């Protein structure tokens, strides 16, 4: 019981028809059930929007020594997204020599280059070339104002 409910229950004892625990259950149970349904639906959709919970497993979450996954260069379809590489969960029963992809395929880790140490190539940034100074040309004069 919340403190507000306890206070309402205690104060109602002075009235002509005091509240009973049954009154709190009859009103609270439907509200709690409705809250569970609404919050579950909201969490599902907002998880998609805020945390990309329906996206493939990210490389950043699969890179530490404490993780139980490796990132392999295996192209495929993961959660309806085409990927060039994907996370592969290591299987403890095979001494981490095999792993399981999202679609359930079991592969041998050592069959793929850079197993576990895959880092995607950074995207090249287009840099604007700096203008080269003209040879033999004098610099532009800067006008100077003197106080009158």
Same domain, 25 and 41: yes
Q: In the chain, which residues have pLDDT < 70?
A: 1, 63-66, 94, 114-144, 148
Structure confidence by residue, pLDDT tens digits, 20-47: 889 888 988 999 999 999 999 999 999 8
Same domain, 46 and 64: no
Q: Is residue 42 part of a domain?
A: yes
The confidence score (pLDDT) of residue 43 equals 92
- For the chain, how many structural domains are there in total? 2
Q: Is residue 72 part of a domain?
A: yes
Q: Is residue 94 part of a domain?
A: yes
The confidence score (pLDDT) of residue 9 equals 86
Q: Is residue 29 part of a domain?
A: yes
Q: Is residue 122 part of a domain?
A: no
Please give the structure tokens belonging to residue 127. Answer: 């840099």
Give the residue numbers spanning the domain of 100: 59-111
Question: pTM, whole model, 2 decimals?
Answer: 0.46
Name the maximum alpha-carbon separation found in the chain: 104
Q: Is residue 134 part of a domain?
A: no
């Amino acid at each position: 019981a919340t403190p507000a409910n306890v206070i309402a229950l205690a104060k109602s004892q002075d009235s002509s028809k005091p509240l009973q625990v049954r009154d709190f259950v009859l009103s609270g149970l439907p509200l709690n059930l409705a809250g569970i349904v609404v919050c579950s639906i909201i969490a599902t959709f907002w998880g998609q929007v805020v945390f990309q919970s329906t996206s493939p497993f990210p490389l950043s979450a699969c890179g530490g020594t404490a993780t139980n996954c490796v990132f392999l260069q295996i192209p495929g379809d993961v959660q309806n997204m085409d990927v060039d590489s994907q996370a592969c969960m290591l299987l403890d029963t095979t001494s981490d020599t095999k792993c399981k992809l999202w679609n359930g395929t079991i592969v041998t880790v050592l069959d793929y280059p850079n197993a576990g140490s895959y880092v995607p190539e950074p995207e090249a940034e287009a840099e604007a070339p700096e203008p080269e100074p003209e040879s033999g040309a004098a610099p532009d004069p800067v006008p100077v104002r003197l106080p009158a």
